[in-house]
Chains A and B, each alone.
Chain A
């Protein structure tokens, strides 16, 4: 028998192939249940009552009519809701203020839950919720986001290298770029089914991390973790907002407390998705580049002003990516925050990087124009040898390879240098490029995987990881099958249950790096302990392996995105017939699900470029376009030819699998590529997303 430590990683070739999703048939047949869909004979339904003021106190609550309504089981408000441990220390990603639901009369944001009804049916709960009468002592609120405010906070000291003010060079790009408030809207809204049995609670939860929910709920309730079980095998998307907990989960927990032994269901309505589960902060990015006439940067200065909440601080780190993208001796990156009477922002796909690569990547295009350079060449000239932010060597950095390969595939060479040069019928046509970037972030929390031989050469692999649609079910099956040297069908993976071994949060694109590495380690350990002919019931477990060189190298994934944009000469309407991305993100474990992640990210990036914008009406303090007819997300007709490719990148330093994250990088850079292409089509430089037809009306002569 060979020693497994020398076993080549790819034993069967399963890693890197593109098998279909193992849970695909169950999803198509509708048997892969989401949290709200579990059948419960004893189901009850919860409807939140939301504050209609943005700041103040609830002076009085009249629940009489609601309590008298048919089917009502309980009406909760701060006067009668079960107490939470508001002084408990919660995991760092949580926003305690947001989670202390119904614990006081204070109102911190419009839409905050101030009461809740539990009833026999969804309809009865909704109806009774409308019968709860609240009286408020209203205080003046402030929900006016602007970079011009005089009370902006500096959450962290600015990142400084050299002296950006002293940077020399005749070319200056000094512009302000803005991105809007956006709301995470996974297909499956945030949902919970909560049930108390004695002093134990079970949650079927739509979450990116069963263990994180368990720990947080246990802390809030003062329960031992063993008394909280969280089940989440299938999750219909999360995009980050199902990483931290939000108010609805806590409401369901409190509501269920009022009706023991009943399964209390709560799914946020679409409208509630715009007030209860966080959002991406708007950003205003002042970007100043200084370069010589050849386009070599001497200074990069980025200040990102973002929105945070008085109730809890969350900083969208939009100035972050500029720290390490391009070489320049003098640099300063910093954040300023407006703390307002609004809900607390949260993670949304590539928080920081996604908005933070818009301003700088459009600025790089402007630099290229100012220097008369091709935009790819402008980037190549500023390629750093070492990570500018830390001075460390890169484990791998293949940005230039992505730009070159993308240029080939896209047909970049034929591009006219001048903007506004191409016209086809009633369309002005242009092309643009931008870089993508996403760091290899450390996983949030530890992981442990258990491999068990079920007999007959079949194996069960378990850990509590959350597959939020990314393909983890399939990719982890591949990793285990490959290391164990068995066909895919011989491996059954079990995920998404806090009763299974600890798994890190599905966040920061870390799934493959953490769970994949952990399963890799556990399967390797299994073969080492039990050989190739194990007894039925043989088991081995392993923890997430340490990454030996974590601190010695800068580890990031890169990409290049190309866009073709058409602008209508009568109406200014913008269409994007073509998007092409090339990524360098380490080893690709499953080609099929990876493509889906890249293309999905780019589609969301397109949606950001042209559509998504939450309109916060500062007079009221809430988002007024809070449904899918008004908050536009790219529809099928907007999405034409989107291609994702990747280069074969070997990076043994990032982790034993060689995998970097792929879940988020696809959304990074798309909006800048589209804006740059729109400039090339029309000669109009738009420094704000979403791009709108009104931006081009003058240019097209309408």
Chain B
């Protein structure tokens, strides 16, 4: 680990300025990702600007119906918050499926969003990696690929974004509140993370020095029935091979009136499954249509030799999660009525 300076910012704009002014400065949240990277030599900031004492640690209901989550709210606190558990249980589930109790106690909302890929080569400074050192090559292209992308990758990088929380936030249409030295702006979560393209060194659209101050969730009644399903190699304390966050609302006739689907473990960003949503909306809620929607989303999947199974896995996980949220939505909304094969628990 390199020697580094440690500073505390006075306020959000000041923190943003401190980092913006120094290309070798970084914000310090819980440190569970950044400090690991410093130990591994993956990151070598000269200045850490600690922001954890800034007053960004509240979860509050917004007047127009949504909820605002401060950037410093710890993952454990967010998962346990009554507003979240009641109105956005999918977010609680996603958080609780991630990491371990100890890590969640430290990890912050912003830090979780901006955690970097777990690609083993990215974390190993003795191997080439375009994301860590642009232009050196991608070791994963012919290497260990079990946890790599099947959607939206490029020849320069096939890594995935590892966050569970971000997948739920993507299904919930969250907005990310960003402060730079001068102004505040809002970035829709679906546009925060990038696909790798030719510049895999950039995970997000943020500029150096942009500080995330909050995440806002819109009012979304159907989120009450949303669910998170995480498929992994170990029963706990493992990153997703594939994960699905889904919400559904049903019309009076039992058909799908609205739906949100996001996927984790499949792409360089939390993957909003717009094609699947499109295929489902305004039609009957049947097992066939759930499966067809999953197929539609994965039509463009380009698996790697080491992760071909993830296409079938994602398809099945999407279908199963839709089946589950459909059952929840029917129960919750009190819509009886025939649901086709959707009501069968396979």
Contact call B313/A569, Cβ cutoff below 8 A:
no
Instruction: Tell me which residues across on chain B come within 8 A of A692, comparing CB atoms.
Output: 233
Instruction: Tell me which residues across on chain B come within 8 A of A70, comparing CB atoms.
Output: 3
Contact call B316/A571, Cβ cutoff below 8 A:
yes
Tell me, yes or no, whether A9 is within 8 Å of chain B by CB.
Answer: no
CB < 8 Å neighbour of B313 from A52, A126, A627, A694: A694
Known A-B contacts A570-B316, A697-B316; A629 and B118 likewise in contact (beta carbons under 8 Å): yes
Interface string of A606-638 (1 = CB under 8 A from B): 000011000101011010111101101011111
Contact call B345/A426, Cβ cutoff below 8 A:
yes
A side interface size, CB within 8 A: 42
Contact call A693/B313, Cβ cutoff below 8 A:
yes
Instruction: Tell me which residues across on chain B come within 8 A of A636, comparing CB atoms.
Output: 236
Q: How far is the CA of A622 from the CA of B139 in the complex (A)?
A: 13
Which of B219-227, B237-245, B264-272 has 4 or more CB atoms under 8 Å from chain A?
A: B237-245
Tell me, yes or no, whether A425 is within 8 Å of chain B by CB.
Answer: yes
Chain A interface helix/strand/loop/mixed: loop
Contact call A571/B320, Cβ cutoff below 8 A:
yes
Interface residues of A in 461-476 (CB under 8 A from B): none
In the complex, which residue of chain B has the Cβ closest to the Cβ of A271?
Answer: B40
Write the nearest CB–CB distance from B137 to chain A, whole angstroms: 11
Instruction: Tell me which residues across on chain A come within 8 A of B142, comparing CB atoms.
Output: 619
Chain B interface helix/strand/loop/mixed: loop
In the complex, which residue of chain B has the Cβ closest to the Cβ of A627?
Answer: B123
In the complex, which residue of chain B has the Cβ closest to the Cβ of A625?
Answer: B120
Interface residues of A in 651-702 (CB under 8 A from B): 692-694, 697-698, 700, 702
Most chain A beta-carbon neighbours within 10 Å: one of B127, B233, B309: B233
Contact call B345/A630, Cβ cutoff below 8 A:
no
Contact call A635/B316, Cβ cutoff below 8 A:
no
CB < 8 Å neighbour of B312 from A123, A620, A637, A702: A702
Contact call A611/B144, Cβ cutoff below 8 A:
no
In the complex, which residue of chain A has the Cβ closest to the Cβ of B41?
Answer: A130
CB < 8 Å neighbour of B127 from A624, A632, A694, A698: A624
Contact call A624/B231, Cβ cutoff below 8 A:
no
Most chain B beta-carbon neighbours within 10 Å: one of A569, A570, A694: A570
Contact call A630/B235, Cβ cutoff below 8 A:
no
Q: How far is the CA of A697 from the CA of B118 in the complex (A)?
A: 25
CB < 8 Å neighbour of B121 from A570, A624, A638: A624
Contact call A570/B144, Cβ cutoff below 8 A:
no
Known A-B contacts A426-B346, A570-B346, A636-B236; A615 and B118 likewise in contact (beta carbons under 8 Å): no
In the complex, which residue of chain A has the Cβ closest to the Cβ of B40?
Answer: A271
Write the nearest CB–CB distance from B11 to chain A, whole angstroms: 31
Contact call A425/B345, Cβ cutoff below 8 A:
yes
Write the nearest CB–CB distance from A271 to chain B, whole angstroms: 8
Contact call B126/A630, Cβ cutoff below 8 A:
no
Instruction: Tell me which residues across on chain B come within 8 A of A635, comparing CB atoms.
Output: 234-238
Contact call A702/B316, Cβ cutoff below 8 A:
yes
CB < 8 Å neighbour of B234 from A425, A622, A627, A632: A632
Contact call B309/A619, Cβ cutoff below 8 A:
no
Tell me, yes or no, whether B317 is within 8 Å of chain A by CB.
Answer: yes
Interface residues of A in 374-429 (CB under 8 A from B): 425-426
Q: How far is the CA of A622 from the CA of B125 in the complex (A)?
A: 13
Write the nearest CB–CB distance from B115 to chain A, whole angstroms: 12
Contact call A632/B238, Cβ cutoff below 8 A:
yes
Q: How far is the CA of A629 from the CA of B236 in the complex (A)?
A: 11
Q: How far is the CA of A700 from the CA of B309 in the complex (A)?
A: 13
Write the nearest CB–CB distance from B293 to chain A, whole angstroms: 15
Contact call B317/A570, Cβ cutoff below 8 A:
yes
Instruction: Tell me which residues across on chain A come within 8 A of B232, comparing CB atoms.
Output: 573
Q: How far is the CA of A218 from the CA of B39 in the complex (A)?
A: 35
Contact call B124/A624, Cβ cutoff below 8 A:
yes
Contact call A619/B316, Cβ cutoff below 8 A:
no
Interface residues of A in 60-88 (CB under 8 A from B): 70
In the complex, which residue of chain A has the Cβ closest to the Cβ of B323?
Answer: A570
Tell me, yes or no, whether B1 is within 8 Å of chain A by CB.
Answer: yes
Tell me, yes or no, whether A243 is within 8 Å of chain B by CB.
Answer: no
Contact call B235/A637, Cβ cutoff below 8 A:
yes
Known A-B contacts A426-B345, A575-B235, A702-B313; A625 and B144 likewise in contact (beta carbons under 8 Å): yes
Contact call B236/A630, Cβ cutoff below 8 A:
no
Write the nearest CB–CB distance from A126 to chain B, whole angstroms: 6
Other than the given A123-B3, A698-B312, 7 more pairs (CB < 8 A) read A70-B3, A127-B2, A571-B317, A611-B234, A619-B139, A634-B234, A637-B235
3 nearest A-B residue pairs (beta carbon): A702-B316, A637-B235, A694-B309
- List B residues at the A interface (Cβ < 8 Å): 1-3, 39-41, 118, 120-121, 123-124, 126-127, 139, 142-144, 231-239, 241, 309, 312-313, 315-317, 319-320, 345-346
- List A residues at the B interface (Cβ < 8 Å): 52, 70, 110, 123, 126-127, 130, 271, 425-426, 569-573, 575, 610-611, 615, 617, 619-620, 622, 624-627, 629-630, 632, 634-638, 692-694, 697-698, 700, 702
